[in-house]
Structure 1
Amino acid sequence: MASRNVSEFVWQRLGEWGIKRVYGYPGDGVGGLDVALEKAKDRMHYVQVRHEEMAAFMASAHAKFTGEVGLCYATSGPGAIHLLNGLYDAKMDHVPVVAIVGQQARMGLGASYQQEVDLQNLFKDVAGDFVMQASVPGQVRHLIDRAVRIASARRVVTCVILPNDLQLMPYQDPPNAHGATHTGVGYAGPAKLPDDKILREAAAILNAGKKVAMLVGAGALHATDEVIAIADKLQAGCAKALLGKAVLPDDLPWVTGSLGLLGTKPSWDLMQDCDTFLMIGSSFPYSEFLPKPGSARGVQIDMDAGALSLRYPMDVSMVGDSSVALRALLPLLEQKSDTSWRGTIEKGVQSWWKTLEDRAMQSAEPLNPQRVFWELSPRLPENAIITADSGSVANWYARDLKIRRGMKASLSGGLASLGAGTPYAVAGKMAFPDRTVIACMGDGAMQMNGLNEMITISKYWKEWSNPRLIVLVLNNRDLNQVTWEERVQLGAGKTESTQSIPDFPYHKYAELLGLKGIFVDHPDKVGAAWDEALSADRPVILEAFTDPNVPPLPPHITLKDAKNFMTSLADEPERGSVIVNSAKEMLAGVLPGHKG
């Protein structure tokens, strides 16, 4: 074999691990890696982003959509710093990502050299399980191997730092000598099957329950069949954490939808009224939406022992893969014959979908954002991939879109970072170019990151077997979620200096990039706009000019929230619109068929 330098070895070794795509941006701190990547383009697909933060978001989304290790790289100093936000997204949502970052030449380190940043300390929190700087070529093999293996096995972020002079040195395997170590390629998953005694203890609790509630998260995305079988045997209802939206199709009548601040009333009722609680593959953060401690006996399954009994005091906690554990648990469960609990759940779900439709059909000035999602839902193509950004758009994504079997859906969960929706969509499209991808964006997120990543989409879209990637932008000229949080949580009216953002012709910007732009501001034209977008021969920005004062009503309104909202009206600059829209939405929940 011809001699290789360190950079050439890095891409080769990552390829031997089965990693085929890297998201990144060049720089002199990774000059050797840049040159070697061009030589390796037949086996390592490079996606050039517009900002390193986007590379890390894409690596995180790649891991979420594929189950594989995501890979990103960046230059020294500012490039490495830019990765951090996207890497924290991966860390907080427990997905495996490897970051390769450059560093200044070894001889200059410690001399306050240009772009010299203490990267090991900088990355120590986000990549705490493994972050290491290479010093000699013989060290690189085990650094790459350990970074990939640890990221995969522990579902964490890891980081390898490569000084730029080292990148160009001839690669050498470590010697067969004292002090050297010799690593190999190969994934090793953690233990997946809980102890038989623990399984039987869990089964005893679940068999004794009369009103079983389930909550599934991203850790159950590969266990759809098993979750359905368990729920049917227990005659349970099942709520979904936000990252678990695609675990179960919403056409199952006992699936109550999302839980939490962005959740549904049936999910709230399910948790408040149950006597037994089964939580699978979720680190759902909001304990106040779970059963009151002591009101229900609890069983939890999670791959991460640190996540067990964290949000609710469980009676039985099991470390295990959700699919494997549920298959082992199933024969230990007794088929429940009493269907009254599930019947109550199904009636609540049926009523809720009608309430959502009534809310979506309420008039607004000029357009109700819920109508945009309600019209999309039945039009979602088979096997679609849906991403959403943070903000009020996440409410409508969580509640109004009916996921069907085979679809994928995700967003920035634990970090809830603004600006992740478009890089997530790009990663989904790169991994599955034959699928239609839809990104649901607010205008704040679109202005923050989305406009730039549309350039990335324009760069690559002709390579895709299916050109359809639709970016929905809710143009309401407002940082809407925070505005409503000010009203409800702080009792303050909208602070226009912080919340109002500039209008921008998003659909015209698409045309500047050679893409398709569609604009809609009338409720009767929303369906046709979606039909046009879904039949386009290129990526689309669908700009919906929506009313910012349609409230994202929580599933449960506390007395404190109600008081704060009433207080906020005293100094609310858009008082009339807020009152009228809030009244319409509330009436839609109690007067089915009411049209405002």
Structure 2
Amino acid sequence: MKLTGAQILIECLKEQGVDTIFGFPGGAVLNIYDALFKAKDDIRHILTSHEQGAAHAADGYARATGKVGVCIATSGPGATNLVTGIATAYMDSVPMVAITGQVPTTLLGKDSFQEVDITGITMPITKHNYIVKDVERLADIVREAFIIAKEGRPGPVLIDICKDVTAAVTEYVPKVPKKPEEASLGVTEDEIDAAADAINKAKRPIILSGGGVSIAGANEEVFELANKALIPVTTTLMGIGSFPGTHELFTGMVGMHGTKTTNMAVSESDLFIAIGARFSDRVISDVNRFAPNAKIMHIDIDPAEVGKNVAVDYPLVGNIKKILKRLIAKVEKKEQSDWKNKIDEWKRLYPLKYPKDDVLRPNYIVERLYELTKGDAIITTEVGQHQIWAAQFYKFKSPRQFLSSGGLGTMGYGLGASIGAKLGRPDKKVINIAGDGSFRMNCNELATAVEYKLPIIIAIFNNHVLGMVRQWQNLFYDGRYSSTNIDRGTNFVALAEAYGAIGIDVRKPEEVDEAWKKALASKDTPVVINFEIDKDDKVFPIVPPGAAISDLIEE
């Protein structure tokens, strides 16, 4: 059948099972929006307040559901407004297809109105990108883009489409979507045998479960390996939820804001098993003093990550789930472990703690949320102290429960992500834990949440400062608080109400439960809770920059 490029794009999206798109219209995508209008019974378009919000919403939708998130923007500033969201998805391996409009082919390269080389700009932050100048190639490019976004290590793909291509007419032939090719299992039986032997002989092993475990759906295999061989488990920030936070083998997070138990265990381990993790600087700190007594085993789908930051003794590259299944079959079952007993003692001696007094503490706020939601909510965060408090004090049980910008550290991520998560998982309570600094950056997306009647909760930990930066200035810059005071008199409750959301103010510990219960009871209206906390509450533990992870500051 003969269709326009815009219609072909929509038909290809329908082929791929896309039911939701986040975006903002403009001149270069008018043909696409016209086709979207006609397809509104098949694809829901969510009009965000800003293109960055659309990218973060597509990201949150993808993380919460495991599907490919889709966002759309016009050319020029519309396209560049997606860049931070695309980079966020790239750093955290999130499958996304970003569609941008471009000026007509006859105007390319002429500094035309709203023209920008978005493929050039996004080349370093996408798995692949395209500029479509020929309608004959459009369908194949869209289909290929979804394959690339999903297969192997996932990530964002950008499709830039010239406006005249969306108006041109050609033959469209429907196709059944191809399934992404599974990563080849290049691991030999000898390598599996050597890895299993290392695990069986290890006296002090520890597993690091990273974000790749959740992406691969390999959390059950990590659970089985840990329980069979009685191996303690830690996670990266991105790996939170890939192993139950309530399990006796869980030691807490690792690295800069890891627990003392975990960082001591890593430092004393004789075998460090990293699964789906990339050895970020926030995990290893001083590489020369990271796990100094341990052999390193690294299981990952991306060969570029193995040996990149840390020398590896047992590299196992390929499909994590399949590798773990083969490994588990050869690992010996352990009934008891002196190493586990030692770590249990450390957990007893060095728990995460905070002052228990009549001051409103962020740690307490998160603990009460955990209790009231029974650990079953999806938590998104912005970036800063509140992000770490959420990671430390909410016990995540499942993958795709904790959505946070780990690699890029994007302030302003969480609100858009919570919108995407709620639309993707309407059955779940979705709470965005924010700092006042982060919330200001994209608070305009409250209008989106109100418009679509999304009962998300935004919990602002309002200390009137840029908390994490101030903490560093306090600890490492002799208290020189340069440009971190943001006490501008903003009334967040009034702001919420101006948007049409519910606003709640909390200043005392005894008000916390009532606020959470009221917010959790909302059926179709977003709720903003302004928690007034002290500007000098700090995140502990913290590893000073350049120190070994065992040299942490506890309080």
Instruction: Give TM-score scaled by structure 2 length.
Output: 0.93
The answer to whether structure 1 residue 476 and structure 2 residue 463 are counterparts is yes
1:423 is aligned, of 397, 416, 433, to 416
2:325 aligned counterpart, secondary structure: helix
For residues 191 and 331 of structure 2, the distance between their equivalents in structure 1, rounded to whole angstroms, comes to 13
Number of residue pairs the alignment of both structures matches: 544
* Unpaired runs of at least 5, structure 1: 175-181, 462-466, 566-581, 587-596
For residues 262 and 255 of structure 1, the distance between their equivalents in structure 2, rounded to whole angstroms, comes to 16
* 8 A Cα contact 1:255 1:349, kept in partner: no
Question: Which amino acid in the other structure matches residue 460 of structure 2?
Answer: V
The answer to whether structure 1 residue 242 and structure 2 residue 237 are counterparts is yes
Counterpart for residue 431 of structure 2: 438
The C-alpha deviation readout for 1:50-71, integer Å capped at 9, x for no partner, is 1111111122222222222211
* 8 A Cα contact 1:411 1:421, kept in partner: yes
The C-alpha deviation readout for 1:100-122, integer Å capped at 9, x for no partner, is 11111111222221112122312
Compare 83-92 and 370-379 and name the one that shifted more.
Answer: 370-379
For residues 392 and 44 of structure 1, the distance between their equivalents in structure 2, rounded to whole angstroms, comes to 38
Counterpart for residue 55 of structure 2: 56
5 Å-filtered alignment, 1:14-163, equals 14-127=13-126, 129-154=127-152, 155-163=154-162
For residues 347 and 132 of structure 1, the distance between their equivalents in structure 2, rounded to whole angstroms, comes to 55
For residues 404 and 286 of structure 2, the distance between their equivalents in structure 1, rounded to whole angstroms, comes to 20
Counterpart for residue 272 of structure 1: 267
Counterpart for residue 392 of structure 1: 385
Question: Which amino acid in the other structure matches residue 129 of structure 2?
Answer: V
| 1:163 positional shift | 1.1
* 8 A Cα contact 2:135 2:170, kept in partner: yes
| 1:494 positional shift | 1.5
Counterpart for residue 334 of structure 1: 332
The answer to whether structure 1 residue 504 and structure 2 residue 490 are counterparts is yes
| 1:558 positional shift | 8.2
The C-alpha deviation readout for 1:179-201, integer Å capped at 9, x for no partner, is xxx99731223326433222111
Compare 476-485 and 224-233 and name the one that shifted more.
Answer: 224-233
For residues 342 and 547 of structure 2, the distance between their equivalents in structure 1, rounded to whole angstroms, comes to 29
* 8 A Cα contact 1:254 1:349, kept in partner: no
| 1:351 positional shift | 4.1
The answer to whether structure 1 residue 515 and structure 2 residue 501 are counterparts is yes
* 8 A Cα contact 1:23 1:72, kept in partner: yes
Compare 216-225 and 73-82 and name the one that shifted more.
Answer: 216-225
Counterpart for residue 520 of structure 2: 534
* Unpaired runs of at least 5, structure 2: none
2:86 aligned counterpart, secondary structure: helix
Compare 527-536 and 143-152 and name the one that shifted more.
Answer: 527-536
* 8 A Cα contact 1:131 1:160, kept in partner: yes
* 8 A Cα contact 2:8 2:172, kept in partner: no
The answer to whether structure 1 residue 488 and structure 2 residue 475 are counterparts is yes
Counterpart for residue 180 of structure 2: 188
For residues 345 and 361 of structure 2, the distance between their equivalents in structure 1, rounded to whole angstroms, comes to 27
For residues 459 and 125 of structure 2, the distance between their equivalents in structure 1, rounded to whole angstroms, comes to 31
For residues 296 and 375 of structure 2, the distance between their equivalents in structure 1, rounded to whole angstroms, comes to 36
The answer to whether structure 1 residue 368 and structure 2 residue 365 are counterparts is no
Question: Which amino acid in the other structure matches residue 146 of structure 2?
Answer: V
| 1:371 positional shift | 2.0
Q: Percent identity?
A: 28
Counterpart for residue 551 of structure 1: 538
1:288 is aligned, of 285, 288, 296, to 285
| 1:560 positional shift | 8.1
Backbone CA RMSD of aligned residues? 2.4
Counterpart for residue 233 of structure 1: 228
1:146 aligned counterpart, secondary structure: helix
Question: Which amino acid in the other structure matches residue 550 of structure 1?
Answer: D
Counterpart for residue 579 of structure 1: none
Question: Which amino acid in the other structure matches residue 285 of structure 2?
Answer: E
Question: Which amino acid in the other structure matches residue 534 of structure 1?
Answer: L
| 1:267 positional shift | 1.4
1:243 aligned counterpart, secondary structure: coil
1:322 is aligned, of 314, 320, 323, to 320
For residues 349 and 294 of structure 1, the distance between their equivalents in structure 2, rounded to whole angstroms, comes to 22
The C-alpha deviation readout for 1:370-406, integer Å capped at 9, x for no partner, is 2211222211246311111101111201111112347
2:169 aligned counterpart, secondary structure: coil
For residues 143 and 79 of structure 1, the distance between their equivalents in structure 2, rounded to whole angstroms, comes to 21
* 8 A Cα contact 1:137 1:173, kept in partner: no
For residues 67 and 166 of structure 2, the distance between their equivalents in structure 1, rounded to whole angstroms, comes to 26
For residues 331 and 160 of structure 1, the distance between their equivalents in structure 2, rounded to whole angstroms, comes to 43
Question: Which amino acid in the other structure matches residue 515 of structure 2?
Answer: A
The C-alpha deviation readout for 1:506-526, integer Å capped at 9, x for no partner, is 222222333222111011221
The C-alpha deviation readout for 1:321-367, integer Å capped at 9, x for no partner, is 222221111110112344211122223234444x42xx152454xx2
User: Which structure exhibits the higher relative contact order, with contacts defined as CA atoms closer than 8 Å and separated by 6 or more residues?
Assistant: 2
For residues 453 and 525 of structure 1, the distance between their equivalents in structure 2, rounded to whole angstroms, comes to 27
1:4 aligned counterpart, secondary structure: strand
Question: Which amino acid in the other structure matches residue 403 of structure 1?
Answer: F
Q: Could you say if the C-alpha distance between residues 339 and 92 of structure 1 is closer, same or farther in structure 2, counting changes exceeding 3 Å?
A: same
* 8 A Cα contact 2:504 2:530, kept in partner: yes
5 Å-filtered alignment, 1:441-456, equals 441-449=434-442, 451-456=443-448
Compare 148-157 and 138-147 and name the one that shifted more.
Answer: 148-157
Q: Could you say if the C-alpha distance between residues 558 and 435 of structure 1 is closer, same or farther in structure 2, counting changes exceeding 3 Å?
A: closer
| 1:498 positional shift | 4.2
Counterpart for residue 594 of structure 1: none
Q: Could you say if the C-alpha distance between residues 137 and 315 of structure 1 is closer, same or farther in structure 2, counting changes exceeding 3 Å?
A: same
* 8 A Cα contact 1:262 1:398, kept in partner: no
2:410 aligned counterpart, secondary structure: coil
Instruction: Give TM-score scaled by structure 1 length.
Output: 0.86
1:214 is aligned, of 207, 211, 216, to 207
For residues 69 and 547 of structure 2, the distance between their equivalents in structure 1, rounded to whole angstroms, comes to 43
| 1:554 positional shift | 2.6
For residues 136 and 118 of structure 2, the distance between their equivalents in structure 1, rounded to whole angstroms, comes to 21
Q: Could you say if the C-alpha distance between residues 188 and 402 of structure 1 is closer, same or farther in structure 2, counting changes exceeding 3 Å?
A: same
| 1:255 positional shift | 0.5
For residues 461 and 522 of structure 2, the distance between their equivalents in structure 1, rounded to whole angstroms, comes to 20
For residues 241 and 331 of structure 1, the distance between their equivalents in structure 2, rounded to whole angstroms, comes to 26
Compare 41-50 and 79-88 and name the one that shifted more.
Answer: 41-50
Question: Which amino acid in the other structure matches residue 387 of structure 2?
Answer: A
* 8 A Cα contact 1:7 1:33, kept in partner: yes
| 1:169 positional shift | 1.5
For residues 29 and 444 of structure 1, the distance between their equivalents in structure 2, rounded to whole angstroms, comes to 34
Q: Could you say if the C-alpha distance between residues 44 and 292 of structure 1 is closer, same or farther in structure 2, counting changes exceeding 3 Å?
A: same
